[in-house]
Amino acid sequence: MRRALKPRVGIIGIGDIKAEAQKRDYETIINGIKGLDIEVFDKGIKASTEEIEASVIELLRKELDAVLLVVLRGMSAQAIKNAVELMDCPAIVWAVKERWAWPSSALALGALKEEKKKVKLIYGLGDDKSTLNEFRQRVQAAFALSRLRHSRIGTIGSLFPNLVSRSYDKARIKERIGTEIVEISFDELHQAIGRVSKAVNAIEDLRKKIQDRFLIEVTDELLNPGIRLHLALKHIAKSHSLDGFAIECWSRMPKEVGLNPCLGFIEDDYTLTCEGDVLISIATQMVRYLTGINPYVGDIYDLDKENILTLVHCGAPASLAADAKSVIIKDSIQAKEQGFPTPVCHPQLKNGEVTLLSLYGKKCDYVHLTTGELIKTRRADKMWVKVRLSGERQEFLEQCLANHYIVVPGNIIRELELLCEWLAISILRT
């Protein structure tokens, strides 16, 4: 099921509507929030427990990602506790300064933590940028949580045999994360390619779009099969409500289809991870819902004595490039070496601060997480990416237990920590 593309947040003030100072504080917070890219459902300030609970019940009918309780006065711990206990989504408790709002909020959170409720505290004024940023981080984590609860990943082919630490438990993943793993047969893929092949205008339109936007270094004879496969995957993603694919691309896909799906990176209609790695596909969804970014996923290749990590992959999402004209569509040297042609998408990645992560465990038990600086992208035969890690080299080596890592622009550590806490995923930080 496809959900809204921006967070939906309900807001209730706990205080006295007749108290001018409380009204001003509430309006300041509301005005600050309206500057963020979220959909707001404002119920105003409520005084009694009955009014607050009725407002919560009404808000929950709107399929919210989070509910914000703005605490404007003291003696409100019981009202906060009762309200959060009604919620089936994360709660954010924003305590304003003075009037004993913080102590009451702390008391409520103490009780709610005992009940394992998903609730976080914010303390400060609505015109403070750092406080608003804390609110944004919590909302993004709540949004990612709700999107994951409804996410679906399609697998085509099995897990590549070499990925011995990447096996997964579909039932436990569904229980813990909410993500449903959907098996797509090669028969269905062949049928979709057959239907797409008859849609001559759609193929031609996408080919012209690619040629207008990107730098093309392949012939139409190579480009067109990649377009047909991409359009077929788009059709399957839509018909099954899939957010992404984990495809066994190095043995089964070439044998069955004659090429790899790497041209799919030209658009962000679905995420794409290779070798049937479902765990990295789930991690990619986590990042996309937290940030809106379809990230680079690479194979680790080297970590030198200067703590520079080299990753390599066939391609990456075109949307990562600052300029579409810096994106190159070229013939995959790696695929050609294996005996089959494949067009690939090579964007020029932006240098700067990045977050790296990989999701481990059959039940998505833990995340290895670190930060660094992307210092170089080389697009010769493959997509080579170099990142200077911020943590200790030896610690990274000890915690690194898989081949695939995500590299996402910016520092999203706090958002990931919140999301992992709510999903009961342990974090290994280096």
> Residue 135 is encoded by which pair of tokens?
């609110």
End-to-end CA distance of the chain: 36
What is the pLDDT at residue 338? 78
Burial bucket for residue 323 (CB in 10 Å: 0-12, 13-18, 19+): exposed
* Tens digit of each residue's pLDDT (9 = 90 or more) over 141-160: 999 999 999 999 999 999 99
Per the model's pLDDT, the better-predicted residue between 250 and 185 turns out to be 185
Phi/psi of residue 213, nearest 5 degrees: -90, -40
Q: With pLDDT > 70 as the criterion, what percentage of the chain qualifies? A: 99
According to DSSP, residue 265 is labeled G
Task: Compute how many other C-beta atoms are within 10 angstroms of the C-beta atom of residue 59.
Answer: 22
Residue 98 CB partners (closer than 8 Å, separation 6+): none
CA angle 219, 155, 361 (to 5 degrees): 125
Helix (H, G, I), strand (E, B) or coil at 323: coil
Q: How far apart are CA 397 and CA 374, in angstroms?
A: 18
Q: How far apart are CA 364 and CA 170, in angstroms?
A: 10
Q: How far apart are CA 318 and CA 379, in angstroms?
A: 13
Q: Position of tokens 């799919």?
A: 264
Given strand 328-331, what is the order of strands in its sheet? 215-216, 328-331, 343-346
Average pLDDT over residues 191-214: 96
For residue 287, give the amino acid letter.
Answer: V
Phi/psi of residue 173, nearest 5 degrees: -65, -45
According to DSSP, residue 263 is labeled G
Mean pLDDT of the chain: 95
Angle between helix 77-85 and helix 49-60 axes, rounded to 10 deg? 30
Q: Which residues pair with 367 in a beta bridge?
A: 359, 427
- For the ranges 2-16, 122-136, 161-175, 365-379, the lowest mean pLDDT is seen at 2-16
pLDDT confidence band for 78 (50 / 70 / 90): very high
Dihedral sign, Cα of residue 329, residue 284, residue 181, residue 39 = negative
Phi-psi label, residue 90: left if phi above 0, alpha if psi -120 to 50, beta otherwise: beta
Inter-CA distances, 217 with 112, 116, 317, Å: 58, 55, 17
What is the pLDDT at residue 1? 33
Contact present, 145 and 423 (Cβ < 8 Å): yes
What is the pLDDT at residue 3? 45
Phi-psi label, residue 97: left if phi above 0, alpha if psi -120 to 50, beta otherwise: beta
Q: How far apart are CA 211 and CA 177, in angstroms?
A: 39
Say yes or no to pLDDT of 4 above 70. Answer: no
What is the pLDDT at residue 419? 98
> Residue 175 is encoded by which pair of tokens?
């229980």
* Tens digit of each residue's pLDDT (9 = 90 or more) over 101-147: 999 999 999 999 999 999 999 999 888 999 999 999 999 999 999 99
Strands 39-46 and 404-409: unpaired
Contact present, 316 and 330 (Cβ < 8 Å): no
What is the pLDDT at residue 341? 86
Phi-psi label, residue 340: left if phi above 0, alpha if psi -120 to 50, beta otherwise: beta
DSSP string, 76-144: -HHHHHHHHHT-SS-EEEEEPSSTTHHHHHHHHHHHHHHTT--EEEEES-TT-HHHHHHHHHHHHHHHH
- For the ranges 292-301, 377-386, 391-400, 416-425, the lowest mean pLDDT is seen at 377-386
* Tens digit of each residue's pLDDT (9 = 90 or more) over 278-312: 999 999 999 999 999 999 999 999 999 999 999 99
pTM of structure: 0.94
Q: How far apart are CA 165 and CA 185, in angstroms?
A: 24
* Tens digit of each residue's pLDDT (9 = 90 or more) over 35-49: 999 999 999 999 999
